[in-house]
Amino acid sequence: MRLKRVLLACAVCAVVSFVLAAGPAPAGDLPRARPESLGMSGGRLARVGEVLAGSVARGEAPGYVTLVARRGKIVHLEGHGRRDPGTDEPMKVDALFGLASMTKPVTAVAAQILYEEGRLAMHEPLSLHVPALARLKVVDDAGATQPLEREITLHDLLTHTSGFDDGLGRLERYAHPTLADHMAEFVERPLAFQPGKRWRYGDSFDFLGYLVQVVSGQPLDAFLRERIFEPLGMVDTAYWPGPEDESRVAVLLQDGAPDRQRASRLPPGAAARRSYVSGTTGLFSTAGDYWRFAQMLLNGGVRDGERVLGSRTVGWIHTNHIGDLALPEWAGPGFRFGFGVAFLVDPARHTAPAGPGSYGWGGALGTDFWVDPENELVAVFMVQA
């Protein structure tokens, strides 16, 4: 968490008061520009590498990839340290990282695509699509079950206020062969609270991914590939990296030791089947690929002429949708919650100088991203520790 704050401070403080005309981006897959051409300081961005070199030397992580972009051009993209702590292979900028909960914002966009098409409504009962939801019960504080006061809606899922609480750890979740198998058990469990009454992180997005699958008539991974990844050119983003990509996967550091098979995250059966996909977790991506997704959000739903969402719909993503509901301390001071992302409403309470209205989300393995509309910045932080 400290290193994320340092990167945020380095990125924002690299924005300087003067702005020069941006020249043409060099040829290549990712549009790049000199920091100074976009009103940023290359010297200050260099602090990112200095901080992370120290982290690698202390053994906090094998390596990192960091990216900062302003006005649609990448001004900083670097690998730091090693891809595998057991080798001298340097961390390359096209390394693949397990995103963990950075999967959730992608799932939120998928659901909003269906919302824009009129195939989902924000506040209609979702039992219209999954009839079993009408039979849900709620566990009260005394442990007794009570009937629903109202049914779960799309808005509840997008904001983590549905009351779903699977009670399963990641390894137990991945023991199911498919998402549909998991959800068949999931909807038989009582809710932890009445929909809309509290904020509880996590399991709402498992069902959100399943809902996308049911309403679209496509497997979740196929829908994401067709409607988000391919239009945005995210060629390196998928749930299960192929054998040809294994040499690019950043090695996970688990309790100080390399976990090359990711056994702490996956039961052996799941790794062999490669059939379980989730709206909550599981995507792999590169810093450059995830930048394409985040830049689409900053651009109001479009990048390089490919529109994924309408601008008004994107605005809903980074709007406070939970009012004054309590968030846990780990969500960070000064934040409220939108659709799949935390949204900064009080910069003075934050621990780094982010612009008001900045939003983003991170993953349990250390990955993070944020969009700063005021400063026209996107930043992506990749690590596996």
User: What pLDDT digit, counting tens, does each position of 160-174 carry?
Assistant: 999 999 888 889 999
Neighbouring-strand partners of residue 134: none
Ordered per-residue pLDDT tens for the chain, 385 residues: 566 655 556 666 676 543 333 333 333 489 999 999 999 999 999 999 999 999 999 999 999 999 999 999 999 999 999 999 999 999 999 999 999 999 999 999 999 999 999 999 999 999 999 999 999 999 998 889 999 999 999 999 999 999 999 888 889 999 999 999 999 999 999 999 999 999 999 899 999 999 999 999 999 999 999 999 999 999 999 999 989 999 999 999 999 999 999 999 998 889 899 999 999 999 999 999 999 999 999 999 999 999 999 999 999 999 999 999 999 998 889 999 999 999 999 999 988 788 999 999 999 999 999 999 999 999 999 999 9
pLDDT at 147 (0 to 100): 96
pLDDT at 166 (0 to 100): 87
The vertex-284 CA angle with 281 and 288, nearest 5°, equals 125
pLDDT at 6 (0 to 100): 57
pLDDT at 20 (0 to 100): 33
DSSP assigned state of 245: G
pLDDT at 29 (0 to 100): 84
pLDDT at 167 (0 to 100): 85
Nearest to 76 by CA among 9, 21, 18, 11: 11
pLDDT at 326 (0 to 100): 96
How many Å apart are CA 174 and CA 271, to the nearest integer?
9
pLDDT at 315 (0 to 100): 96
pLDDT at 352 (0 to 100): 79
Contact residues for 318 (Cβ-Cβ < 8 A; gap 6+):
297, 338, 341, 343, 357, 359, 371, 373
How many Å apart are CA 204 and CA 156, to the nearest integer?
8
Integer angstrom CA distances of residue 190 from 17, 147, 208: 55, 10, 17
pLDDT at 25 (0 to 100): 35
pLDDT at 53 (0 to 100): 97
pLDDT at 4 (0 to 100): 61
DSSP secondary structure, 294-346, as one string: HHHHHTTSEETTEESS-HHHHHHHTS--STT----GGG-TTEEE-SSSEEES-
63 membership: H or E segment, kind and range: strand 63-70
Cβ(359)–Cβ(371) below 8 Å: yes
Nearest to 156 by CA among 176, 136, 179: 136
How many Å apart are CA 38 and CA 316, to the nearest integer?
28
CB atoms within 10 A of CB 204: 27
Nearest to 291 by CA among 243, 237, 241, 332: 237
pLDDT at 175 (0 to 100): 93
Cβ(124)–Cβ(154) below 8 Å: yes
pLDDT at 17 (0 to 100): 40
Alpha carbons within 13 angstroms on the beta-carbon side of residue 263 total 7
Phi, psi of 66 (to 5 degrees): -125, 145
Cβ(286)–Cβ(96) below 8 Å: yes
Cβ(46)–Cβ(80) below 8 Å: no
Nearest to 221 by CA among 208, 234, 201, 239: 239
